Chains A and B, each alone.
Chain A
Amino acid sequence: MIYLFPLLAATTNNPIFYLQIVAVAACSAILTISLNICMGYGGLLSLMHTGMQMVGGYTVAVLMLKKGWNGWLALFMSIVVTAIFSIAVILLSLRATYLYFGMITLAINLIAMEGVRHGGSLTDGYNGLFGIIPPGITTPLMTPRSFYIFALTILFITYVIQRNIMFSGFGRNTMALRESSETATALGVSPNVHRLKVFTVSGALAGLAGGLLTMQIGYAQAEIGDLNNGLIFFVGLFLGGVGTLAGPIIGVSVVAVIDFLIRGTAQYRSLILGSILLLCMIILPRGVVGTYRASRYGSPQARDFDPAEAEDYELDIEVKDVVKDETLLEARDITKHFGGVHAVDGVSIVFKAGQVHGIIGPNGSGKSTLISALTSYLPLTSGSVDIFGKAAPAKPHLVARMGVTRVFQIPHLFDRINVLDNVLTGMYRQDSYSIFDAILRTPRYRKANGRSVGKARALLALAGLIGKEELLAGSLSHGQKRLLEVIRAVGTNPKILILDEPATGLTQEELSALTGLINLLATKGMCIILIEHNVQFLMNLAEIVTVLQSGKVIAQGTPMEVQKNEKVLDAYLGRADFSKELT
């Protein structure tokens, strides 16, 4: 609406003025979308988006004015150069987390600005480069009107790119990483590689915005990179809603309108904008779109479903290349010491295909530490772990990629992502499409995505969660969250599934659903490692039980054997409930 306003205003005495205002707003909206991908979806605090815009702008300016390049080519290069710039930045700063990452980007922004000012004859220093004219399609030059249409088209394309990326496996991984780096790792996402990709995409779009802006305003100066100018993007992003698709566009539009209305009072501009921003954050803390989504009208509801619908989804779980009773995971004499505490103290253990292997032990006996050590979350003090006959890789996401999926003791769902996407996040490695397939929505993408969604629904049906796909995971009950997490892990197609106390807090109904699922998986040949305090649940399911105490294995055998073992009874003496159940 707001963007079409100039067409209506075209009859007034100064139509070009309005066209230019909107074209600049479109550039701002593109940059804000780029910022949204980085901060809103990726959770990367970037204070250098204005700098990226400046880099894109200077690429266009230098190539056109100093090198005499064609304008279209220069605009394309602004994307490439800024993407490379972003790659360089993120490669340098991968080690930094959250706040420090923001500070590095701030520093690099300032360096880039100083660099441009000291660029000598290439950038004309403090003066900047003037006289850039947008190229035309048929005519040599573009009129303000056609540039306005061009800018809006690019904005629309950028919006579609953002939407398609965020609905793909790539987008789900991005959000997973934002919510919890640890969980994303457990699902096989490499945090560093993925951050690199997100930042590069964001940088490419920022470069595009910069290139366009330079063509519109006709000059490139270091001040374009000034953080003060970046405020308008932050304001727009927060006003519209961080991490929402339409938020950036709505937010920037509103800011542009406000900016237009107060244009006569330049010295009060930042005072008014700043006050509006603070007021908005107090009145609409989640932005326009976020507030709408949280309201009664915009929030997803659980739909009613027919129990028969659950049977429509056929589940094909197959555990490939695994022979029943073959050794999948083997630990040899592993120890893990935390200073003087011997959390795991010389454990040798073998896990076989098609087996439900229970691990029990009193609190603090080293069960969870053992699991972390097996999956490379913690470096071993000594000993070795073999997965499928090969030495375990040192990085946890690589272990996950080999087919060892872990479900944590505390719920690790992505709370702000819906139920279906939570399951799909686990399945991305079976997706056989690239990010370009996702952006263009090629048949390959559609087919693969359809298959994944079908499988995810089948899994949800198994856990009794069908009909709740659109709900945010955070709104589920505790038991449903646990089940969802198990299902998400199953979705990764693991050969070994590690469940750390999955039954805690489950209702009787949910317990039987879980029991059924675990039995099904075991018959398919999956190896399931089950850590549990609920002894009855464990003894019913497990084929073999290992008992840990003080980091050592004190007994191993079938549930019956273990229940009669003297040492085990000793270890649990004093816990009346336990002794009674065992004897």
Chain B
Amino acid sequence: MVYQPTRIMNFAQGEGFILGAAVGYLALGVWKLPLWLALIVLILASIFMGFIMERMVMLPVQLSGSKFAWIIATLAAALIFQSLFNIGFIGASLSYNEIWNKSFEFFGAQIAFQKLLVFVLTISIVITHDQFLRRTLWGRSIRAIAHNPDTSTILGIPTKPVIKLAFIIGTITVSFVGFLAAPVIIVEPASGLFFTIQGFTAAIVGGVGSPKGALAGGLVIGILDSVVRSTLGGTWGLFSTFIALALILILRPNGFFGKRVEGR
């Protein structure tokens, strides 16, 4: 999402995921708030984080002319959020009880409703995201800025607010997934960068800047990961993911669904 208008691969994106998990942990696990209140807290927190993140990343990027400023800025932002989470939730695993702690049987396998919920929601997020970019005025503005920020400004698109919005929406999306996924996977306060890199892997497999590609890439990586884990043992999972990433990049440098990316 953020990548589209700014051509930035945001290393701090995974921190939103942690934020979601942390809010879930605090609001549902510790404070025992009702779900609707927890969701409101989540959205408010994400807006706040997206806003701060935009300032942290875009201010240095705009001021510094360097081609590499964005890496450093997003890495620094990731680092800052990571240490904040570390300080706030030291040693805690950000899990809470499943919202929907029932499971059902499907072809003989036990599938928890929460996992299903995560899956269904992910797909609907991808579809909504795609439609948002294609159909709405804001979405089209984002795509216009992706092509050429200067021309967009001339055409009267408020470039800076649109970028802010993209950061906020991106953070809300990610934190929502983090919120839901926290009960089913292990989320540690410091693992934001790890999730970011996993996300990049999926995005690259699918092609950068294409939501459908990202979904397909994510599925491929996820399946590969679990197949390798169950056949070769746990520690080989990561290894195979990265080998797959390297292979795909070497054979198809632009991902499966992606377009060419040039330096700006």
- Kindly provide the distance from the CB of B207 to the nearest chain A CB, expressed in whole angstroms: 11
Q: Which residues of B contact A115 (CB under 8 A)?
A: 239
Please state if A99 and B68 are interface contacts (CB–CB under 8 Å): no
Q: How far is the CA of A404 from the CA of B170 in the complex (A)?
A: 50
A108 touches B246 (CB 8 A): yes
Query: Is A103 in contact with B249, judged by CB distance below 8 angstroms?
Result: yes
A20-B66 Cα distance, complex, nearest whole Å: 33
Question: On chain B, which size bracket covers the interface?
Answer: 35 or more
Q: Nearest residue in A to B248 (C-beta to C-beta)?
A: A107
Query: Could you say which of B72, B193, B239 contacts A281, with CB atoms under 8 Å apart?
Result: B72
Q: What's the least CB distance linking A253 to chain B, in Å? A: 18
Q: Mark B213-239, 1 if CB is under 8 A from A, else 0.
A: 000000000000000000000011011
Kindly name the residue among A47, A111, A231, A235 whose own CB sees the greatest number of chain B CB atoms within 10 A. Answer: A111
Which residues of chain B are near A271, meaning CB under 8 Å? 79-80, 83-84, 87
A98, chain B: closest CB distance, angstroms: 4
Assess whether B76 is interfacial by the CB under 8 Å rule: yes
Instruction: Say which residue of A93, A110, A235, A282 sits within 8 Å of B197 (CB atoms).
Output: A110
Scoring A residues 211 to 243 as 1 if CB is less than 8 Å from chain B, else 0, what string do you get? 000000000000000011001001100100010
Return the contact of B239 from the options A96, A111, A274, A285 (Cβ within 8 A).
Answer: A111
* A267 contacts B77, C-beta separation under 8 Å: no
Which residue on chain B has the smallest CB distance to residue A416? B65
Chain B residue, CB-CB nearest to A277: B76
Kindly specify which of B41-49, B56-64, B150-158 makes contact with the partner chain.
B56-64
Using known A-B contacts A99-B208, A100-B249, A103-B200, determine if residue A114 contacts B239 with beta carbons closer than 8 Å: yes
Nearest CB in chain A: distance from B241 CB, A = 8
Chain A, range 85-134, C-beta contacts under 8 Å to B: 92-93, 95-100, 102-104, 106-108, 110-111, 114-115, 117-118
Of A107, A110, A114, A275, most B-chain CB atoms within 10 Å: A107
Say whether, besides A45-B71, A97-B262, A286-B64, A228 and B193 are in contact (CB < 8 Å).
Answer: yes
Asked if B139 CB lies within 8 Å of chain A CBs, one says no
Majority-rule SS of A interface residues:
helix
Check if B243 sits within 8 Å of A111, measured CB to CB: yes
Known A43-B67, A97-B263, A99-B263: A234·B204 in contact at CB below 8 Å: no
Q: Decide yes or no whether A483 CB sits under 8 A from chain B.
A: no
Which residues of A have CB within 8 Å of B87?
267-268, 271
Interface size of A in residues (CB-CB distance below 8 Å): 45
Residue from the list A43, A93, A270 in contact with B83, Cβ < 8 A: A270
Known: A104-B250, A108-B246. A282 touches B60 (CB 8 A): yes
Measured in the bound complex, the distance between the Cα atoms of B74 and A234 in whole Å is 12
Instruction: Specify which chain A residues have a CB less than 8 angstroms from the CB of B64 in the assembled complex.
Output: 281, 285-286
Interface 1/0s, chain A 258-275, versus B by CB < 8 A? 000000000111110111
Cβ-based interface call for B69 (8 A): yes
Q: B66, B80, B263: which contacts A98 (Cβ < 8 A)?
A: B263
Q: Which chain B positions have C-beta within 8 A of A242?
A: 66, 68
Closest B residue by C-beta to A100: B253
Interface residues of B (CB under 8 A from A): 9, 56, 59-60, 63-69, 71-73, 75-77, 79-80, 82-84, 86-87, 90, 193, 197, 200-201, 204, 208, 235-236, 238-239, 242-243, 245-246, 249-250, 253-254, 260-263
Q: Which 3 pairs, one residue from A and one from B, show the smallest C-beta to C-beta distance?
A: A281-B60, A285-B64, A98-B263
Can you report 16 A-B residue pairs in the complex whose CB atoms are below 8 A from each other? A95-B250, A96-B249, A97-B253, A100-B253, A102-B71, A107-B201, A111-B243, A118-B235, A231-B75, A267-B83, A269-B83, A270-B79, A270-B80, A274-B83, A278-B59, A281-B73
A103-B200, A228-B193, A231-B75 given; 5 more Cβ-contact pairs under 8 Å: A93-B250, A106-B197, A114-B239, A242-B68, A278-B60
